[in-house]
Amino acid sequence: MVDVADKLAYFQAITGLEDPDLCTEILQAHDWDLELAISSFTSSNPPPERQEQTPNTQVTANLLSRDGQNRVDRSDSLGNAVAGPGLAWRIITLPYSVISASIGLVSGAVGLGLWAAGGVLSYSLGMLGLNSGRSGESSTRLASVSAAALEAMEFVAVFERDYGNVKPNFVSEGFMDALQRSRSVFKMLFVYLHSPDHPDTPAFCQGTLCNEVLAAFVNENFVSWGGSIRASEGFKMSNSLKASRYPFCAVVMPAANQRIALLQQVEGPKSPEEMLMILQKVIEESNPALLQARLDAEERRNNMRLREEQDAAYRAALEADQGTTEERRARTSGKGSC
């Protein structure tokens, strides 16, 4: 059963309202019926043109550029530091429940910090969804892996049913597996958080995400992951990314210690041309970091291959030497018996 705190958080995520007292009053007026409260709010309130600055948004208020996208002012925020991706303006600690949904990234996290080297702003979030008790930890993790994949597959199936096959190729995997996939192919992760109840969602999906040119660009340059905020993982990621307006898209990279570097977020409806311009800018400013990561990985592979070849040659020489020694001993032993 969903408790009061979850309903409040879900209502804030859907509506974009950040005042908890106001949200509580609205929910109480509708007897804490989420669907009724959301329906009443969205039918009587058009989407806000601009997001109000509150204590929670003061961190990013000075990062808003002319087109309303969150961008870092490197001269003010990074000082003289040498930054990696120029747009990286927040490092996000993922909820434990999202991390535990995939063991693959935990074991392969060494070196992820190369993708977001130095100079980015640090903004760690509190841990969400912690498991209670150690006895059920193993089974909970196994269940989480299955649940994350099933949610992703359901999202892809529903999206294709509603909007067709010309779209970003959302992977049918949990968020952490998608992040690992992006890391392995040296691409950024394009994230789309789907709010089925938001009035701008259908037009954005049909007209922007499913635009042939934009979809082809995203598929060429990114690994894509999508999640509904009605589902567990999508909802948790909306909290981690602090999504306040929908439709919501973001571009992220893996960072060290199961964290992600937020490079760009896009909130509110955008045309295909606007989205394409934003994503092209991200690609331009992030390519040096991606190239460096690829070169570093290639160097590590070459060094590892060289060590393996040297070890193999050493073992072969050692075995040959041992064989020669045994042969000499055998000959010496034969002469002694004569």
What pLDDT, in 10s, does the model give residues 178-222?
999 998 898 999 999 999 999 999 999 999 999 999 999 999 999
**What are the C-alpha distances in Å from 130 to residues 43, 133, 140, 176, 258?**
36, 9, 11, 16, 15
CATH 1.10.8 range(s) for the chain read 1-45
Bridge pairing between strands 259-267 and 248-255: antiparallel
b/e per residue 16-44 (b: at least 16 CB within 10 A): bbbeeeebeebbeebeeebeebbeebbee
Q: What is the per-residue pLDDT for 157? A: 96
Bridge pairing between strands 188-194 and 222-228: parallel
Class of domain 1-45: mainly alpha
Confidence of residue 260 (pLDDT cuts 50, 70, 90): confident
**What are the C-alpha distances in Å from 333 to residues 157, 320, 325, 327, 336?**
76, 20, 12, 10, 5
What pLDDT, in 10s, does the model give residues 121-167?
233 333 333 334 444 444 444 444 558 889 999 999 999 999 999 99
**What are the C-alpha distances in Å from 247 to residues 14, 111, 117, 281?**
10, 33, 30, 20
Query: What percentage of the chain reaches a pLDDT higher than 90?
Result: 33
User: Residue 283's CB: how many other CB atoms inside 10 A?
Assistant: 17
Return the structure tokens found at 52. 């109000």
| β-bridge partners, 193 | 227, 248
Question: For 270, which DSSP code?
Answer: -
Q: Evaluate if pTM is beyond 0.75.
A: no
CATH 3.40.30.10 range(s) for the chain read 63-290
CATH fold for domain 63-290: Glutaredoxin (3.40.30)
Query: What percentage of the chain reaches a pLDDT higher than 70?
Result: 63
Q: What is the per-residue pLDDT for 337? A: 60
What pLDDT, in 10s, does the model give residues 241-258?
999 999 999 999 887 666
